Amino acid sequence: MRTRRNCALRVATVATLVGVTAAGSVQGQMVHSNNVNDLARAGKLALERDPLLRFDPYTLLIRFHEGVSEEEKAIVRGMVGGERLTAYRVVPGLERISTLLDVEVAVQLLRGVDAVMYAEPNFVVRPTAEPNDPNLSNQWGLENFGQNIRGVSGKTDADLDMFDAWDVNTGSSSVTVAVIDSGAKLDHEDLAANIWVNTGEIPNNGIDDDGNGYIDDVNGWDFYDDDGNPTDMTGHGTLMAGIIGARGNNGVGITGVAWRCQMVILRVLGANGGLVSDVILAMEYAAAKNVRFSNQSFGGYDFSQSFLDALTALVGTHLVIAAAGNDTNNNDVNPFYPASYQVGNVISICATNNNDQLAFFSNYGANTVHMGAPGVSIFSTHRLGSYVWVNGTSAAAAHVTGLAVLLASQYTWDTTRIRTRILNSRRKVAALNGKTIYRSVPNAYRALRDQTVVPAVPGTPVLTDLQDGRAFMEWTDNSSNENRFLVQRQRRDGAAWVDWINVNRPGRNKVTMIDNPGAGHYRYRIRSVNRAGPSEWTAWVEVIVTGP
């Protein structure tokens, strides 16, 4: 059993043993600074110089065991010539610290200390989409009727079925969603109305009005540059924001999956990516503001226990929709994070094209990637105020994030139930067999229909004799959650009604049908049906059918 005395002794002994090594390792590393901001910023500068950087060369993540004193923690940090830069609330004991040693050397030293649960590099994550040339808007991922997209004819209904879904719900300004990315163009004509405003903060007064530790965090926070202006400098985050929540029905530009929502903009990415330490801070910020969803269209192939611990701490309260990656990689064999973290509040999304095929660039995984979603030739908002095409699993994940917002607008469910509904709303796609867990893409209309409530009774049908042995029937669809309708017919024989039969089962949203009973006197009625059961029948309506 570990005791504080043993822990302190082990720390002091190791610190003494590595003293010479630490002093010798300072050469070639950054100049020590007493300014925490300088220490925190140094890794970002290194990343901007080296786009292939794997981890921050000046900081690392460490988690202390419960019960370790502040004095002991200070001794441990001193072992590597470091100081605490960040203490995380979402994961008790987790800190980001600086180091004067080579990071990999420091991590190995710290892993041998009893007081330390784990230590690891502060890994880099990168966005998973790239913009293409500007062109006219054509959002096949929302509704695909076979239209030509940049020279490729689509497959009808290879989409999310958004037009039907919007008949049920178009979003709500009471639902917040975090766009954890490279920021966003806050004043874009198609985004500004759906950018979150922190009502607890007075803009530009230099005061932390809401007491959350962030000054002037009016629309979110820039964790990359550590300021209150999360404006997009590279473009990726603005693209994702447009897919999730470009303002709908406003007469300009495009339509997001959610017409109305409040997007909390949390910048963690620069031109060459960002750091896990900032992503965890962004999730912590979102959780503190009761933001229940985040789009995380970035990743990398390095496992981070800190990242996993942060996700685990938020199970049941915060849902992450993550991009599966763009390297034609099998994530079952070579995991891509955060999409591959096996935790109950992550949905991993690969990309499909407008013919229901797996995108040529998309990662996949029969046991690790949940579903696909549109991710090829997606039109979205640009950081310069215009619109551009984008390819990537980033775009695919953003579509599903928008669907989560719609579900939160429709129902008072927790994030676990919303995740389950998304995964169960599937439309089977043959090309995803052996490539994803559910072999499907979401169907937004199916997700939004409430299958726990019996649908409403349709309007009383109106019948017309077509004078050729057929009857035309039309009715009003009074529900948004039916699977189908059931139509019954009887024939008049003298004074009695006979031959009671089900003549048709029109699909959801149908409001007309033609029956071919032959000449005679008939009556019809109809009801709607879903998994919860059938509605009541309408009244019987009679018609005399004539024919040759």
Residue 494 makes CB contacts below 8 A (sequence gap 6+) with none
pLDDT band for 505, please (50, 70, 90 cuts): confident
- Whether residue 313 contacts residue 90, with contact meaning beta carbons closer than 8 Å, is answered with yes
Residue 429 makes CB contacts below 8 A (sequence gap 6+) with 158, 352, 356, 372, 439, 440, 441
- 234 burial class (0-12, 13-18, 19+ CB within 10 angstroms)? middle
β-sheet bridge partners, residue 63? 94, 118
Report the candidate in 105, 247, 146 with the shortest Cα–Cα distance to residue 189. 247
pLDDT band for 481, please (50, 70, 90 cuts): confident
Q: What residue numbers bound the domain in which 397 lies? A: 130-141+171-448
Looking at residue 35, its pLDDT comes to 62
Asked if pLDDT for residue 346 goes beyond 90, the answer is yes
Same-domain pairing of 392 and 432:
yes
- Whether residue 327 contacts residue 363, with contact meaning beta carbons closer than 8 Å, is answered with yes
pTM across the whole model:
0.78
SS3 77: helix
Helices vs strands, H then E, count in the chain: 12, 28
Asked if pLDDT for residue 451 goes beyond 70, the answer is no
pLDDT band for 148, please (50, 70, 90 cuts): confident
Residue 547 makes CB contacts below 8 A (sequence gap 6+) with 467, 468, 469, 470, 518, 519
Looking at residue 310, its pLDDT comes to 97
Asked if pLDDT for residue 3 goes beyond 90, the answer is no
Looking at residue 484, its pLDDT comes to 87
H or E element at residue 131: strand 130-131
How far is Cα 263 from Cα 196, in angstroms, rounded to an integer?
A: 5
Residues 363-382 have pLDDT tens digits of 999 999 999 999 998 999 99
Evaluate the omega torsion of the peptide bond into residue 338 and state whether it is cis, within 30 degrees of 0: yes
How far is Cα 195 from Cα 218, in angstroms, rounded to an integer?
A: 10
Q: By mean pLDDT, which of 62-66, 179-183, 376-380, 399-403 is the weakest?
A: 376-380
Residue 24 makes CB contacts below 8 A (sequence gap 6+) with none
Asked if pLDDT for residue 164 goes beyond 50, the answer is yes
Inside any domain, residue 118: yes
- 443 burial class (0-12, 13-18, 19+ CB within 10 angstroms)? buried
Asked if pLDDT for residue 30 goes beyond 60, the answer is no
How far is Cα 139 from Cα 132, in angstroms, rounded to an integer?
A: 15
How far is Cα 392 from Cα 407, in angstroms, rounded to an integer?
A: 24
In angstroms, the first-to-last Cα distance of the chain is 96
Torsion, Cα 236 299 366 404, to 10 degrees, reads -50
Residue that is last in its domain, among 123, 155, 184: 123
Pairing of strands 496-504, 462-465: unpaired
Inside any domain, residue 158: no
- Whether residue 235 contacts residue 394, with contact meaning beta carbons closer than 8 Å, is answered with no
Cα-flanking dihedrals φ and ψ of residue 462, to 5°? Answer: -115, 130
Tell me 184's DSSP state: B
Q: By mean pLDDT, which of 215-219, 304-308, 338-342, 424-428 is the weakest?
A: 424-428
Asked if pLDDT for residue 24 goes beyond 50, the answer is no
Inside any domain, residue 178: yes
Same-domain pairing of 366 and 481:
no
Same-domain pairing of 398 and 513:
no
Same-domain pairing of 107 and 215:
no
Instruction: Give the chain's mean pLDDT.
Output: 87
Same-domain pairing of 223 and 352:
yes
Q: Which CA distances in Å does 133 have to 22, 139, 140?
A: 50, 15, 17
Looking at residue 452, its pLDDT comes to 66
Inside any domain, residue 62: yes
Place of tokens 């849902």: 319
| Residue 11's CATH number | 3.30.70.80
**Mean pLDDT on 534-548:** 90
Same-domain pairing of 424 and 349:
yes
Q: In degrees, to the nearest 5, what angle opens at C-alpha 116 toward C-alphas 123 and 315?
A: 60
Residue 23 makes CB contacts below 8 A (sequence gap 6+) with none
To the nearest whole percent, how much of the chain has pLDDT over 90?
70
Looking at residue 301, its pLDDT comes to 96
Same-domain pairing of 431 and 486:
no
| Residue 496's CATH number | 2.60.40.10
- Whether residue 448 contacts residue 409, with contact meaning beta carbons closer than 8 Å, is answered with no
How far is Cα 237 from Cα 221, in angstroms, rounded to an integer?
A: 13
Report the candidate in 529, 348, 544 with the shortest Cα–Cα distance to residue 455. 529
H or E element at residue 441: strand 440-442
How far is Cα 322 from Cα 181, in angstroms, rounded to an integer?
A: 11
Residue that is last in its domain, among 448, 474, 494: 448
Residues 284-342 have pLDDT tens digits of 999 999 999 999 999 999 999 999 999 999 999 999 999 999 999 999 999 999 999 99
The DSSP secondary structure of 233-280, one letter per residue, reads SSSHHHHHHHHHHPPSSSSSS---SSSEEEEEEEE--BTTBEEHHHHH
How far is Cα 445 from Cα 83, in angstroms, rounded to an integer?
A: 52
Same-domain pairing of 249 and 388:
yes
Q: How many domains does the chain have?
A: 3
Asked if pLDDT for residue 252 goes beyond 90, the answer is no
Inside any domain, residue 153: no
Same-domain pairing of 103 and 206:
no
Same-domain pairing of 423 and 467:
no
Q: In degrees, to the nearest 5, what angle opens at C-alpha 345 toward C-alphas 342 and 347?
A: 75
| Residue 298's CATH number | 3.40.50.200
Q: In degrees, to the nearest 5, what angle opens at C-alpha 305 toward C-alphas 299 and 310?
A: 80
Same-domain pairing of 41 and 182:
no
- Whether residue 400 contacts residue 407, with contact meaning beta carbons closer than 8 Å, is answered with no
b/e burial code for range 485-502 (CB count within 10 A of at least 16 → b): bbbbbbbeeeeebeeeee
β-sheet bridge partners, residue 420? none
Inside any domain, residue 320: yes
Query: In this structure, is the dihedral angle defined by the CA atoms of residues 314, 316, 318 and 322, taken in order, positive or negative?
Result: positive
How far is Cα 163 from Cα 378, in angstroms, rounded to an integer?
A: 17
Inside any domain, residue 14: yes
Asked if pLDDT for residue 251 goes beyond 90, the answer is no
Same-domain pairing of 314 and 331:
yes
How far is Cα 470 from Cα 464, in angstroms, rounded to an integer?
A: 9
Looking at residue 14, its pLDDT comes to 34
Inside any domain, residue 166: no
